[in-house]
């Protein structure tokens, strides 16, 4: 008799008595290359300041006080000045702006001497979004570093996990984007360890995304007394995790299997956007299921993801004792001049697609829908049948674990019922094959019903006949799961 785990690697002790090899995520060459790049960033000179829309400036003309003025650069990047009309200053350094005014006054004033002083800077901003307490757009200077901006945004957001309030920031998968490039910054070293090389200076236009540790969990299932999903903590070990699960039952095998590097082919894409430069006279409205709905100042560089970050990202609510985001990107919308624009919010915000991450215009109305109907039901031969909120990327194995795993009476297959009960499609899933690494974990969809039959084919047949009485529909059960069916 062969075992499902014949192909599983044996774990052997190493010289330091560890039960598993300590594998690094990157080689020494990559680490050296990243360190060199960070040193280059640290040594970069501060770029010359260039004026922009929203900045307040003071202009003086020596020996001509009547020409002096304090004004704000308009949304089009210009100011109005005597004798010259509209003068474009946006994008110019202070010296370049003074020269432009001097040249324009030369026909009217003999040898004009012009100076410009910056009174208020509103265009030196960076955007921080994701799992921080106060995502938004913040003023930065040449002394602002990554840890400073993270603190300005209120540090990590928090949520409930199994009745415990925990931080949700995932430093490992967080990122900083500058000029369209992801910088090789280690957020943990920068923020949690104070490493100056990784705690880089923040520049105008930087975009920081603090990832959410939704996937940072450990699942324990099988022959343990309390199968469950628990939040991953640095330093947690196998023995402590088995203990937290009530230890193994008397039926356990002599080995414990650790499945690493994920079961599902689902990869979160980084959010890429261009941060906003606030302009006082232009506003757009965002409402619905965001943390801070309201009217916000926008400019010609403000995009949908920026406005969403300014509004605090998704609102949250309790579902079965767990704090979850409630934004429903599929049904959200943006209205311009009375027309709904064909924007895919998920691609714009969660995947950083620039085509859908459109520029926000004055008067735009953005509505973030609330996901009321997105749930998954698990029933049958599980220890805790229940209904749970659907999360993007949730898989069958995690959902079975959250239900206390299957009882001893379960059938060899698990049934997924999809597309509702009026016109259902049924799929048989080989759970043992997934656990043995022979099959991929199945990504669930909103509205899925997971049914675990008893180890009795007659009961299953009765169930199928009641749900799908025709032979044509019953034949669906004879087909294997396909990538198109369950792996969108």
**List of domains in the chain:** 56-120 (3.30.1950.10), 279-372 (3.10.560.10), 375-486 (3.10.560.10)
What is residue 18's DSSP assignment?
-
Q: What pLDDT sits at residue 96?
A: 92
Longest dimension (CA), the chain: 103
pLDDT for the residue numbered 9? 47
pLDDT at position 140: 86
In this prediction, residue 485 carries a pLDDT of: 41
Q: Quick one: which H or E segment has residue 167?
A: strand 164-167
Among residues 406, 408, 428, which one has the least CA distance to residue 416? 428
d(CA 452, CA 407): 9
Q: Are 185 and 176 in contact (CB under 8 A)?
A: yes
List, in order, residues 6 or more apart from 6 with CB less than 8 Å away: none
In angstroms, rounded to a whole number, what is the distance separating the alpha carbons of residues 267 and 301?
Answer: 28
Alpha-carbon distance 404 to 384, whole Å?
Answer: 6
What integer pLDDT is reported at residue 282 of this predicted model? Answer: 77
Q: What is the pLDDT of residue 60?
A: 92
Q: What is the pTM of this model?
A: 0.48
- Residue 433: closest CA among 449, 412, 417: 412
Please report the pLDDT score of residue 463 as a whole number.
61
Give every residue of the chain whose pLDDT is below 70, as ranges.
1-27, 159-166, 213-216, 228, 231, 233-234, 251-254, 260-281, 318-324, 352, 371-374, 420-423, 455-488
The 10s digit of each residue's pLDDT in 94-138 is 999 999 999 999 898 888 999 999 888 777 888 888 788 888 888
């Amino acid at each position: 008799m062969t075992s499902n785990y014949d192909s599983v690697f044996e774990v052997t002790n190493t010289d330091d008595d560890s039960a598993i090899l300590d594998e690094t995520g990157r080689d020494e060459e990559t680490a050296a290359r990243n360190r060199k790049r960070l040193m280059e960033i640290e040594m970069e000179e501060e770029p010359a300041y260039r004026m922009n829309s929203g900045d307040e400036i003071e202009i003086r003309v020596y020996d001509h006080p009547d020409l002096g003025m304090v004004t704000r650069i308009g949304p089009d990047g210009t100011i109005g000045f005597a004798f010259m009309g509209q003068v474009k200053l946006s994008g110019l350094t202070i010296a370049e702006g003074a020269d432009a005014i001097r040249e324009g006054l030369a026909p009217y004033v003999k040898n004009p001497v012009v100076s410009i002083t910056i009174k208020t800077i509103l265009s030196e901003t960076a955007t921080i979004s994701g799992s921080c307490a106060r995502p938004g757009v913040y003023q930065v200077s040449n002394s602002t570093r990554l840890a400073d901006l993270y603190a300005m945004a209120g540090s990590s957001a928090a949520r409930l996990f199994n009745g415990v309030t925990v931080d949700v920031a995932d430093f490992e998968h967080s990122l900083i984007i500058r000029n369209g490039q992801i910088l090789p910054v280690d957020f943990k070293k920068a923020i949690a360890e104070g490493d100056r090389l990784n705690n880089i200076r923040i520049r105008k236009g930087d975009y920081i995304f603090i990832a959410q540790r939704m996937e940072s969990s450990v699942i324990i299932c099988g022959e343990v007394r309390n199968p469950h999903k628990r939040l991953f903590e640095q330093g947690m070990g196998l023995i402590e995790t088995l203990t937290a699960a009530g230890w193994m039952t008397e039926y356990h095998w002599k080995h414990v299997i650790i499945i690493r590097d994920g079961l599902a082919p689902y990869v979160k894409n980084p959010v890429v956007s261009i941060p906003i430069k606030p302009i006082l006279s232009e506003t757009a409205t965002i409402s619905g299921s965001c943390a801070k709905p309201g009217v916000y100042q926008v400019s010609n560089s403000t995009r949908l993801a920026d406005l969403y970050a300014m509004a605090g990202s998704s609102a949250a609510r309790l579902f079965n004792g767990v704090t979850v985001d409630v934004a429903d990107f599929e049904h959200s919308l943006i209205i311009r001049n009375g027309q709904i624009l064909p924007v895919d919010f998920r691609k714009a915000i969660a995947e950083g697609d620039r085509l859908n991450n459109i520029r926000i215009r004055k008067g735009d109305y953005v509505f973030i829908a609330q996901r009321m109907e997105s749930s998954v039901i698990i029933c049958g031969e599980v220890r805790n049948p229940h209904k749970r909120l659907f999360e993007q990327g949730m898989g069958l194995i995690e959902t079975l674990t959250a239900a206390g795993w299957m009882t001893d009476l379960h059938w060899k297959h698990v049934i997924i019922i999809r597309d509702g009960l009026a016109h259902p499609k049924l799929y048989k899933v080989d759970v043992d094959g997934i656990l043995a690494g022979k099959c991929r974990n199945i990504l669930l969809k909103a509205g899925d019903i997971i049914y675990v039959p008893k180890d009795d084919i007659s009961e299953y047949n009765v169930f199928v006949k009641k749900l799908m009485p025709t032979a044509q529909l019953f034949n669906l059960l004879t087909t294997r799961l396909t990538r198109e069916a369950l792996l969108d």
